Amino acid sequence: MMLIPCPWCGPRDESEFHYGGQAGVAYPDDPGALTDAEWARYLFFRDNPKGPFRERWSHTAGCRRWFSLVRDTVTNEIVA
């Protein structure tokens, strides 16, 4: 079990949250101008580091807000 610290509701069980993927992925300025390969890269390719990783989470069973945090992918410890 992992406790995730919601900035608005406090620490809650991970079952109350929905993982939103890597944080900081910018939407393309002109998606219509991208090639199929570029669009696929935007949609499906994400970093997969061993160690600290910035992620987006939604507190779906609580305040329903989105927020970012940094989680160590080795230990699942939330570091920021």
Dist. CA 66–CA 57, nearest whole Å: 6
Domains held by the chain: number? 1
Whether 16 is covered by a domain: the verdict is yes
Whether 74 is covered by a domain: the verdict is yes
Whether 34 is covered by a domain: the verdict is no
HEC string for 29-75? CCHHHCCHHHHHHHHHCCCCCCCEEEEEEECCCCCCCEEEEEEECCC
Whether 63 is covered by a domain: the verdict is yes
Residue 80 has pLDDT above 90, yes or no: no
Whether 66 is covered by a domain: the verdict is yes
Return the CATH number at 74: 3.30.2270.10
Whether 36 is covered by a domain: the verdict is no
What residue numbers bound the domain in which 68 lies?
Answer: 1-25+45-80
Q: What is the pLDDT of residues 14-64, one digit of tens each?
A: 999 999 999 999 999 999 999 999 999 999 999 999 999 999 999 999 999
